[in-house]
Amino acid sequence: MRPPGAQTLRVLPTAEAVAEAVAERLVEALARNPELVLALPTGRTPLLLYRHLVALHREGRVSFSRATAFQLDELLGLAPDHPARFAAYLTRHLFQHVDLAQERIQRLDGAAPDPEAECARYEDALAAAGGLDVALLGIGDNGHVAFNEPGPTLQARAHVAVLARQTREANAGLFAGEPSHVPTHALTLGMAALLQAREVHLVATGASKADILRAALRGPLTPQVPASFLQLHPRLSVWLDTAALGQNEAALS
Ligand code: PGA
């Protein structure tokens, strides 16, 4: 099945199979270019993928020693030792288990005293790295990518985002189930960094993603569904399990 443009849709039976296939794809990309510059998501979806990458690293099948990793987004205003920080998630699930060099792990500092300046610093770091080779993305139930949230406009550059109610609810699990404890703002890469990535891999699993995927991949380009702009990307791979494909097979084929 091929969506319009140069996009590929890959549907696998389970979330586990999706994680395995995306991990293998990254292993190939790192073998071709050990200096790969990656953007990495957090959330529930990439957990299995990171588990596979760690296992492949332990088997000696992949090294990250010359790669660079950019965190996609970060909650704003949490203390530097708060376990819900996305930086802590990435350390816990990936960085502490693989051989990424500390100096090539790029983190958005959600405790920065001047968040706008932190976004500008991050854009500079991304430019200095030559932009993203691979943007690995999940999709929010509301169509966000990174924390580019639905609204009347989107922003090209890294910015301070106001989190949507739905996003705060989706992240409540990190805050004892209490959406009101989820920060109201976050730092995020903007749409330009994602659309200028040389390859984009959008990963979605589970039935709850089926409706938003249809809107994102087949609907009009609209800032109300930020992921819809990924339709413009010339090298977008969409990785789904059959649950996320849902009833969309005809629409997406
Ligand atoms: P999820 O989050 O993987 O926890 O569903 C996706 C996202 O919000 O980008």
Cα 125 to chain centroid distance, Å, stands at 18
What does the block give as tokens for 90? Answer: 């990435």
Measured CA to CA, the distance from residue 160 to residue 166 in angstroms comes to: 17
Place of tokens 């609204």: 151
Helix axes 15-32, 46-58, angle to 10 degrees: 50
Contacts (Cβ under 8 Å, ≥6 apart) of 104: 66, 67, 68, 69
C-alpha 125 to ligand 1 mean position (Å): 25
Pick the closest to residue 86 from 145, 146, 144 (CA basis).
146
Q: Is there a catalytic annotation at residue 109? A: no
Residue 82 C-alpha from the chain's centroid: 21
Both tokens of 243, joined, read: 């649950």
List the structure tokens of 80. Answer: 């530097």
Q: Are 210 and 246 in contact (CB under 8 A)?
A: yes
Q: Distance between alpha carbon 38 and the CA centroid of its chain, in Å?
A: 10
Question: How many distinct helices (H) and strands (E) make up the chain?
Answer: 9, 10
Helix (H), strand (E) at residue 53: helix 46-58
Per-residue pLDDT of the chain (253 residues; tens, 9 = 90+): 444 456 899 999 999 999 999 999 999 999 999 999 999 999 999 999 999 999 999 999 999 999 999 999 999 999 999 999 999 999 999 999 999 999 999 999 999 999 999 999 999 999 999 999 999 999 999 999 999 999 999 999 999 999 999 999 999 999 999 999 999 999 999 999 999 999 999 999 999 999 999 999 999 999 999 999 999 999 999 999 999 999 888 888 7
Give the separation between CA 155 and CA 193, rounded to whole angstroms.
10
Which of left, alpha, beta for 5 (phi over 0: left; psi -120 to 50: alpha)?
Answer: left
In this structure, which amino acid lies at residue 144? H
Which numbered atom of ligand 1 lies nearest the CA of 170? 4
How close is the Cα of 44 to the center of ligand 1, in Å?
Answer: 6
Neighbours of 225 (CB within 10 A): 21
Determine the pLDDT at residue 1: 45
Ligand 1 atom closest to 45 (CA): 3
Q: How far apart are CA 53 and CA 24, in angstroms?
A: 8
Q: Are 240 and 208 in contact (CB under 8 A)?
A: no
Residue of 71, 139, 148, 174 to mutate, ligand 1, most atoms within 8 A of C-beta: 139
Q: Tokens standing for 75?
A: 């909650």
For 66, the 3-state DSSP assignment is: coil
